[in-house]
């Protein structure tokens, strides 16, 4: 991998998450029946951070779940996804905020939606992503975005979170890993 350019530091990430939390509150008119579902690994950490921000603002806790959509990916053997167990998350008749770190082709989000539908029928699903880099292959659009970052297909967006990587930041790197 060649040169890396930092596009968000810790402070920019914190401000983006705070803004996203306020937008979630406004769009949903509060926190009633709201649940956060974070796509593992970094989406789950971001969902937990959003949950803490929402608590700071409203003083009310929001349930937060982790979801691994890998068994439901459409670029894997379909027999595997049909045999995958329903995730152990409570989404039935809830307003779900699905959280991921980077939105690229939309295939991970589609897999997460498939997994959630196995767990129950949500009232609605809204998508929150820290970085939207474009290049969608599916008609998926985020409702809440930390930063829109136009990228080339041969670039990589790298998100680092203190809970996983020891530091916070977002970088664009030339070339693929």
- Domains parsed from the chain with CATH numbers: 4-74+86-174 (3.40.50.2020)
Instruction: Determine the pLDDT at residue 165.
Output: 97
Where do we find the tokens 């699905």? 98
d(C-alpha 21, C-alpha 56), whole Å: 10
pLDDT for 80 equals 58
pTM of the model: 0.93
Closest to 87 in 3D by CA, of 22, 153, 37 = 37
Collect all residues with Cβ–Cβ distance below 8 Å to 32 and sequence separation of at least 6: none
Q: Consecutive sets of 10 residues in the chain, 177 residues long: mean pLDDT of each?
A: 87 98 98 98 98 98 96 72 78 97 96 93 97 96 97 96 98 83
Write down the residue that tokens 């539908």 correspond to.
117
Residue 78 to residue 126: CA distance in whole angstroms: 26
In this predicted structure, what is the pLDDT of residue 38? 98
Residue 123 has what pLDDT?
97
Report pLDDT for 85.
Answer: 78
Q: What is the pLDDT of residue 43?
A: 98
């Amino acid at each position: 991998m060649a040169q890396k350019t930092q596009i968000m530091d810790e402070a920019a990430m914190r401000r983006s998450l705070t803004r996203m939390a306020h937008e979630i509150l406004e769009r949903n008119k509060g926190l009633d029946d709201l649940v956060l579902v974070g796509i593992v690994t970094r989406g789950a950490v971001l969902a937990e951070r959003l949950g803490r921000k929402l608590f700071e603002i409203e003083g009310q806790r929001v349930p937060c779940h982790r979801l691994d959509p890998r068994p439901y990916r459409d670029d894997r053997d379909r027999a595997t996804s049909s045999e995958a167990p329903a995730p152990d998350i409570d989404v039935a008749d809830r307003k779900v905020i699905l959280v991921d770190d980077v939105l690229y082709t939309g295939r991970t989000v589609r897999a997460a939606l498939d997994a959630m539908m196995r767990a129950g029928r949500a009232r609605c699903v809204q998508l929150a992503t820290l970085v939207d880099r474009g290049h969608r292959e599916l008609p998926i659009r985020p409702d809440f975005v930390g930063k829109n970052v136009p990228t080339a297909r041969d670039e990589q967006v790298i998100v680092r979170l203190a809970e996983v990587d020891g530091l916070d930041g977002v970088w664009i790197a030339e070339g693929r890993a």
